[in-house]
Structure 1
Amino acid sequence: MDWIDGNTTQNTKLQLRRLRRHFLLFLVAVVVPVLAALWMYKSHVEAVEESRLLASVESHALQQQLAFEQVINVATSHLQRLSLQLSDTMMRPELGLDEGTWKHLAQYGVRRTGSGGLLGSQLDPWWRERFGELFVASSALTQPHLGKEIAAAMALFPAMHAAHQAHPYFQWSYFYSPREDFSSIYPFIAEKELQQATGTQSVDAMLKVVFDAGGTRPVQMMSPNRNPQRENRWTTPYYDAGGKGAMVSLLRPQYVQDEFVGVLGTDVTLRMFAETLKVDMNYLGHALVVDSLGHVLADDAGQVIESKDILKSSNVLPAQLTQIPLASMLAKKKSLQTNGQWHWLVLPLQGSQWHLLVYFSELELEQAKAKQVAGTPFVLLGLLMLLIAAAWAISYFFALPALRLVDFLHRLQGDPQAKTPKVPKAWQPSFSQVAETAQERATYLTEVEGHSEHLEQTVAQRTRELVEANDVLQQTIMQLKTTQKMLVESEKMAALGSLVAGVAHELNTPIGVSVTMGSTLQEKNRELAEQITAQTLRKTVLADYVNVTEQGLQILMRNLEQAAQLVSSFKQVAVDQTSDLRREFDLAELVLQVMQTMGVLYGANRLQSDIPQGLKLDSFPGALVQVLNNLIANAETHAFAEKNAGLVMITARLIDEQTLRLIVSDNGVGIRPEHLDHIFEPFFTTKLGQGGSGLGLNIVYNIVHSVLGGRIEVQSQVGRGSEFTLTLPLCAPERVSSPAEK
């Protein structure tokens, strides 16, 4: 027996050694792949970080491109508005200042004739701020068009004032005559101040310096010979004769009935461009804006602002990049380029001859990447140490005791009275409990065997029931998903059908009339061609053809303009939340401007307001102006349709320190009760087929909720008028989700 017990003990030791070897092999098999995975993870993190850095460079460059193009678009739109107003005033002089206004201004020293400055520094500051100054050379006094140019230039000043108030980065706005003997300049600058700035002693000499514009010669640059395409152009950078530093000008040739009548322009300082291209330490790379001649208009390091001269790209770019021809760098656009040590990206700026150039070195890329992944080795080392500590703890406290426990259980099957092995104290109660329950287990197994067969049958039955219930449930879920999909598609098709029906109905009439009139004119042209070929054309027939053609073209243009207005309204239904610039403004002044504008169309005596002075809002004035214009136009179309005259009243009061209530009311015919719940829905109108598109109040609703961050309500009684109440925050939120998004 002693010999048998000795063999058993020896076999047990051999088994434990074998189990230890297997466990160590298991640890090696786990640690080695983990280390390989950690190394691959480090390489992957570096590659991902490099891709992220390059993507962030392109993303930031696109943001800078968008910021510059917004500034360029604002300047271009400013000159377009001035050009339309100048053309209208020159063709229709009655649209300019009337004789009463001229006589009133004459009391303040404003002249309509003579050389030099016509407004004069003695003009009241309020008028001077809104009119700028007119300069007339002595040689211009004999020109027959001078009076018309002076009247048209005076009519431009209010639009210039409004643009400069909305966009402070406009430094000068002006009109140059094609003869270079007359100019209007905004804002106001006294004749003596301009002579001092230009270093001249006479008006004629001063105007020569002004028309030279730092050597850019705007009138000659935009003349028909040098600009036959009649394009807007930006000048090269120059120093302002008025003393406002380095700047660049946007020029627009002005034509009236194909006759070159002058040049409109606006100046922007390079400092403003530098502020648009602010440096951001969170992004890799350096940025600058250059033109095709290599002039630098802005850079994110501030060199353009600090320099006393107009910089060239060779003064700013690193030496290695200056060895590459600038034209070659600018030719490859919208993709990241490299020459080994340097990377660059070129993005064109729409509306100009400029390019945004972003560059960075390979060393900067590596430094940025190393900065981002600097903690990765320490993280990997910590994970490795944690893995080793966990492996040792598992081995000592869990694996080896577990192996001994397995061996102990194996021995208990043959000998329930076997002794417990040496294990950590934490395991000793478990081994004792295993020994105590060994005998109980043997007895219990006998009883369990008797019940196992019955239990298996019960489990099999329950399993079949669960499978059947699961099949029924899966079929129900599939039916619900199919029904849900059908409902969603049904809602989509219903909404699409409503939209298509509304658009088709509104566009059918003007387009149909246009097609009919087009075919009529085509038939008239065919008949005229046949008579010309047959040489039977008479003067009366030709006159009748001209009369019919003129009437047909008027009908055609009127219906096409109506269709264009409908399409424009449909496009406005989805409110663009980035179309308006945010700023702080006075509500009373904004409402007054709206009343002055709408009063021209509907009569100034039909619009009244009660707005407290000094009520400031930090919001989107363009969006609020559109809301007021639509409400006033809606009242004119619907509220007063059955009346000869009516009154629209605009009032505003503070609700608390953060909210105000703006009310637009009328004394018109009112809204029927059954229509009140639908007036803000798209394409709902009571004037269907009579010029109403059903989009005006829907646009108002979307702007108030999604742009201004407020809400709008309506109350009305038939025969007593309507009242639209807008509850607006004094400080509009950055972005508000539209009701459709919710």
Structure 2
Amino acid sequence: MSGREHVSITGRALWLITPFISLAIITGVLVMFEYFRSTTKEMHLEQIEFYVKERIARERILFQQAENHLAKIQDKFIQRFNSLEAVDYEKRFSALMQKETDGTWRNSERFADLNEYSGNFIDDDSPVTSDLKKKMVIFSELTNQYGPAWHGQYHNLFIIGQENYMSVFWPEVHWARFADTSLDLTRQQNYFHGPESDSPPALTADESGQSLWTDVYFDNVSRKWLISNIAPLYLNQQQIGTVGHDLYLNELFQRTLNDNYPGAFNFVFTRQGRVIVHPDLMERLFLREGQLTVQDAGFPLLTEAYQRSLSGNLWQAYESADEEYFLVMSHLAEPDWFFVSAYPRQAITDLALNKSRVVLFMGLCLLLIMLSIVYWVMKYYVATPLQQFIWAAHSVAEGDRNVWLDDSRRDELGQLASSFLNMQKAIRSHTSRLTCEIYEKNDAQKKLQQANDELELRVQQRTASLEQANQKLSLTLEQLKEAQGQLVEAEKMSSLGGLVAGVAHEINTPIGICLTAASGIQDDLVKLKARYQAGQMSENDFTGFLVMADEAMSILISNNRRASQLIQSFKQVAVDQSSEECRRFILKAYIEEVLFSLRPRLKRTRHQVALSCEESIEMESYPGALSQVLTNLVMNSLLHGFEDIEQGLIQIDVVQQDQSLILTYRDNGAGMDEQGLQKIFEPFYTTRRGNGGSGLGAHLIYNLVTQKLRGSIHCTSAKGQGVCFVLRLPSCLTGDVHP
């Protein structure tokens, strides 16, 4: 068996199936989550709307009953005022009221228990007339009769007269007992003012006589937060006072803050934009005595709800701008308030998620059940038969050719078993055939090995022959290189020999002249000496001899100097050409010496040499190599360029560029074609093979320039247009040692 880790096909099938089933379950859970979230949202929104409607209806009952109570008090007052006689109300007033030391009228001792009776108060500045007494008696009777009956729902019942007097049933707060004489009841928030009153607009009503609700205010006597429902009290179509209920807001606050829909919170504000109740603003409301505006509160949900209330739509169910809350807003008509219930979106998501967890748990259980079923089916119908195939394959691999498998199954595994048995038969047949082929192959390999051995022997013999031939070729190449060197040296010596012959010929002329002049002087001296010895020498003879001797000496001196110059130039050029010394020299002077040494060859022709070079240019290099280069260039022009030209011109120009010298050599000779230009620097290439040309002159020039002088040379030419050599040479080779 191989070293690979064994992997069960059943486990692999489960591994492949599990992600798909899991994906299906997760998709189902996500769909169910979205369904639960949608249905939960609809359900809770419906319940919140129902809650708000029910809550508004319940709150309105209290406000509507208060308005009905005030209307009833109005009717009862008119009835009693019209039926009460003067004797009755005078007697009742005397029993009810007594004048205090501060000038005010308050309850007598008989009615001093304000927990049982209503409190009555008449200001010290109010004129106590019969009409006032009658009204005071009726006010007290009405508050005593209806105040206790309504006290379970409303904290008090009060009636205020226009002449600054009042009757109030308020057992918890004995307001009338502590009322100050400076108090003007008609200027308080809980007094109803007609349209012509100069009171604040919020407390002014029209002539319809309908009740209204005041803003939230803090009562300094009761020390509580209140809201008052007040209505005008009319008599003979004239307002004589105000009747009203006071409601504690604490209970409203508690109901709004605590009696809410599960998970939601409530808040209330007025149409004028004042906050009544908000769970996060109660402390600020108390600090501002109920005068906190929506704008000052700075809560986005509150601000958004207030903006929506301005649209005139009194019932709205909407989603907040930040999509974090679902809100239902309704109008509480009597006090003109807006009640809002806000339910967080996250709560709906959490509820849907909790329901989805149940579905997810059921899906996981279903996944485990399905995987168990798949595992059992795969193991029984697939894994076990495959184990038999594995055993059969191992047996065949170990050499057993008689393995049996059940091929009676009518499925893919049965077909596989049948194919395996057929393969086993084919293997037996192929094995016998391969045995024969292996025998034949071994025999062929032996023959091939024998042929390879013979071939290797032949290769070794041929290799030895090639090595001998290579040795002979190497020896021949060395001999050719040596011969080439000898030819190059011969070319140098030939050039030097020509120079020597020319200089020798040039020196013969001044030396011959000197010899002739010396012979003439000697002959004249012999003649003069004979005349002197004979005593025949005259002054003219002596003077003539002196003149002739002076002329002869001048000739001797000038020709000796000329010979000396020739010898000196030849000596310097010859020494430089045979020397390997690197030295500093004036370039123009040295080129002139080289050209002077070539005068014997140039004098025989009409050719001219022109030199252009600054006097100050110096060069530190190998002058011998430079001399050989110039000599060969001039000789090439004389031998090849000017072969058919009587009067040619050679132009040599030298310029300095930075640390290099550019030497341009050109003539107006015959020039070369393209083929000759490409081969000019090749060794042994010459156009005068049968006329004494060696083909090494240009090759020697190239080697001297590029190797000895460390420069470069470039040639341009065209047939009939002469030749031009451009040499770029370093002006200083200090420290260089060149072979």
How does the TM-score come out when normalised to structure 2? 0.43
Larger radius of gyration between Structure 1 and Structure 2: 2
